[in-house]
Structure 1
Amino acid sequence: MAVVFVLVAVAVLALLAGVHRYVWRRLVGDTTAPGSALRKAGTVAAWLLPLLSVGALVSGRAGAPFWLQRTLAWPGFLWLAALLYLTLALLVGEAVRPILRRVPARRAAGGAAAAADDGTSAAGSATAAGIRSAETGPAPADAPASGTPVTLVADAPASSPAVGPSRRLFVARAVGGAAAVAGFGTVGYGTYGVLRGPRVKRVTVPLAKLPRSAHGFRIAVVSDIHLGPILGRAHTQRIVDTINRTQPDLIAVVGDLVDGSVHDLGPAAEPLARLTSRHGAFFVTGNHEYFSGAAQWVSHVRELGLHPLENARVEIDGFDLAGVNDIAGESEGQGPDFDRALGDRDRTRASVLLAHQPVVIDDAVAHGVDLQLSGHTHGGQLWPGNYIAELANPTVAGLERYGDTQLYVSRGAGAWGPPVRVGAPSDITVVQLASRQA
């Protein structure tokens, strides 16, 4: 296993090195003069930015002071997102580059042909003038000889304006500039979307066993808040304010609340104490809680007024609400236990399961769950990451049916790593349960 890990790490580092070399070449090497200040600055950035990215990725796991994690996180993680979209934009530019090279060449060829035609016409006119001169007598003493005009026309191109930067340099700068605008613009807009806060989605889910009395019951689902070195207390407050404005009957926090310890992030989580709903707020662990001290976080959210469901179930008016630990808890002997959470319940009652990862849907189906609420995928977070997420998850975002069980997956309210979302906007979903008897 250790050998496999080393080989994968070496392959990833080699890929990153190759991508950085390519980006440097297209944005710096092809567009700047050797020894210029711009080339020196670009080369320094090409070495410094990947080091900051590695530092942002490993500082938390290495136990670095929280202030250092925050210092590295912003430039390091933003550069990873920028690297992705700069590379994609430059690859598109590879297809455009040959076209741009040909267009000026054709224009230049057309200009040369026009100049040649003008020279031929001038030569013809000069020859005709010489013939007329011979017929009418000698020219005045100050008139040029008959052959002179031809010589002047032949030398005319030499007096044309000097040629500007080479076509290759022009194309390199045009493509590189367009790629930089597209890449950094995409990252900027995606960062704004995260820092602005999640938008509210509303989904109606009919449940066959739900009684008429519970028709219209509203559950505010929030997942993947990811408090950490970048997203802090202000981010939590935006989420709490957004949830409270929806006036839900119940709040479900379905994992990946944090990326860090209670010591570092406890103050950032404090606004959760102001969540309000008729039946309270419930919490289940995600995989990132097990990287951050899950037991301590379960105790802390309980102190904030949330109700952790650790492989447990509670009865709500009209249905059973159950929650299971995340799969990552298996490494600590605290993995999901569906029999404990659902095994002895009355299956004539409707049931809603909180489970961080969508991949446990088969267990939910086997235990007769009517609706599973999950997160984890972020909807892919950074396009085209959604295609990768589809390989590992049965549903990446939205509502789908698996037999008699429905699965709803939220895109999440925060972001992991780069505080950027592209093609997968963050959300808080109000799931409204509908009774078929209503």
Structure 2
Amino acid sequence: MSSALFVALVLPVLAGAHSYVWWRMVRATTSPGSWWRRAGTALIVLLALLLVAAPPGERALPAPLATAVGWPGFTWMAGLLYLTLALLVGEAVRPLLMRVRRRSGGDTAPAARSTASEAVGEHPYGTGSASGPDVPAPASADGLAASRRMFVSRVVAVAAGAAATAAVGYGAYTALGPPRVRHIVVPLARLGPQAHGFRIALISDIHLNVLVGRSRTRQLVDLLNGTEPDLVALVGDLVEDADVAVQGRAAEPLADLRAPHGAYYVTGNHEFYSGAEQWVRFVSGLGLRPLRNERVALPGFDLAGVEDASGADHDDGPDYEAALGGRDRERAVVLLAHQPAQVTEAARYGVDLQLSGHTHGGQLWPFTRLASLVEPNVAGLSRYRDTLLYVSRGTGFWGPPVRLDADPDITVVELASPRA
């Protein structure tokens, strides 16, 4: 995203969200000039600055400082989302809580105490008077209403904070934990009998960045090797937005991938943001074979790969004719392409199965439910015309180290032949 677009579109939204959170979490729950209000205001401002600084800091700051800024900044992205949603839910229940508070009599104690004091002042043995300095003044209606509003605001703020913390905590546990290994059997009508049972371990969107590194890659390689695949397919977005000099060491465990038919790689959009050529050369040195608008013949089917669609902006886009043209139409072909939307071209060339990533399954609720409005193939197996499409949720994350309602996954795709 360009700086101008960020300033014009994103910053006003962020400013509005932070203002709303401050209003409900700080202003409505604290007294003017209090220490709590000053501290809460300072915290909201600090988190806002860290959030804005974290994305450019990945590339502009030294690695230790980028990590120090990135953890709170990126985590707060998710925190702000869920805190805002929880507070909006609180708006709906706030009138009910106000009525409950009013009927419970919880804020009538001051008036009761005033009446009791007046009674003491009128007693012949009392030492005070109804209007004397020893007797509290009757509570005003405005004062009672303000007390009631603050009490309800504090209840809503505590509940919203707890809900947001739970959502972010569980989402971080999911995102940073081991991905789920899924298994799926995909019948292909043209698959040769010798490829029946052929197992492709599909992984996408590792997104190596300032928050995850070499240990994460080692974990993923061990999981991939544990599936005992015939072939490994990495379908793009190995890194977030970093040069080989910064994240190359984190990717090195990929050299230990083990599969009889090797490991293959196609570019994703984030490789082009980082400089795709350097990453293609680097993964080649690790033993992965890039498929850059080309195909290879395997027992019983062809495997093809195309560049990511974003490569067209860098004069290095997908060339479906080079990858799929002039082939034997009696043989099944499996296409590796980062973005699910590339299936429209794949179908034109008679691809039997396309394997993709890119979507992260939406990554964060409610986007996991809304993503289908933009991308109909968000996760799992679907069909477009005569082409099957399988979309992995990926193993990493973009931005917040949080995944909610979109568990990370590695998928073992087992091909099945009707002629076996």
Which residue identity lines up with residue 293 of structure 2 in the other structure?
N
Taking the aligned partners of 1:386 and 1:54, their CA distance within structure 2 comes to: 24
The residue correspondences of 1:269-280 to structure 2 (distance < 5 A) are 269-280=251-262
> Aligned match of 1:317 in 269, 292, 299?
299
Does 2:418 match 1:436? Answer: yes
Partner of 1:228: 209
Cα deviation, 1:374-399, whole Å, max 9, x if unaligned, reads 00000000111124432332300000
The residue correspondences of 1:182-197 to structure 2 (distance < 5 A) are 182-197=163-178
The alpha-carbon deviation at position 64 of structure 1 amounts to 3.1
Partner of 1:94: 91
Q: Which moved more, 1:52-61 or 1:428-437?
A: 52-61
Aligned-pair identity (%): 57
Does 2:355 match 1:373? Answer: yes
Partner of 1:144: none
Q: Mark the CA change 1:45 to 1:428 in structure 2 (over 3 Å): closer, same or farther.
A: same
Taking the aligned partners of 2:18 and 2:264, their CA distance within structure 1 comes to: 44
Q: Mark the CA change 1:410 to 1:7 in structure 2 (over 3 Å): closer, same or farther.
A: closer
Listed as ranges, the gaps of 5+ residues in structure 2 are 113-122, 125-129
Q: Which structure has the larger Rg?
A: 1
Does 2:65 match 1:68? Answer: yes
The residue correspondences of 1:247-286 to structure 2 (distance < 5 A) are 247-259=228-240, 260-286=242-268
Q: Mark the CA change 1:418 to 1:109 in structure 2 (over 3 Å): closer, same or farther.
A: closer
Taking the aligned partners of 1:6 and 1:74, their CA distance within structure 2 comes to: 25
Which residue identity lines up with residue 333 of structure 1 in the other structure?
D
Q: Mark the CA change 1:305 to 1:173 in structure 2 (over 3 Å): closer, same or farther.
A: same
Partner of 1:412: 394
Cα deviation, 1:280-335, whole Å, max 9, x if unaligned, reads 11000000001112101101101111110010100111100000000111122110
Does 2:331 match 1:334? Answer: no
Secondary structure in structure 2 of the residue aligned to 1:166: helix
The alpha-carbon deviation at position 258 of structure 1 amounts to 0.5
What TM-score, normalized by structure 2, do the two folds share?
0.89
> Aligned match of 2:38 in 29, 40, 52?
40
Structure 1: which 4+ aligned runs deviate by more than 6 Å? Answer: 109-112, 162-165
Q: Which moved more, 1:216-225 or 1:188-197?
A: 188-197
Does 2:314 match 1:362? Answer: no
The alpha-carbon deviation at position 91 of structure 1 amounts to 0.4
Taking the aligned partners of 1:341 and 1:21, their CA distance within structure 2 comes to: 51
Taking the aligned partners of 1:323 and 1:59, their CA distance within structure 2 comes to: 33
Taking the aligned partners of 1:257 and 1:111, their CA distance within structure 2 comes to: 62
Cα deviation, 1:76-100, whole Å, max 9, x if unaligned, reads 1001110000000000011111111
What TM-score, normalized by structure 1, do the two folds share?
0.85
Does 2:300 match 1:303? Answer: no
Are the aligned partners of 2:58 and 2:70 in contact in 1 as well (CA < 8 Å)? no
Cα deviation, 1:196-251, whole Å, max 9, x if unaligned, reads 12110111111001122211111100000000111111111111111111111110
> Aligned match of 1:287 in 260, 269, 284?
269
Partner of 1:126: none
Cα deviation, 1:334-374, whole Å, max 9, x if unaligned, reads 10000000101111101100000011111000001000000
Does 2:416 match 1:424? Answer: no
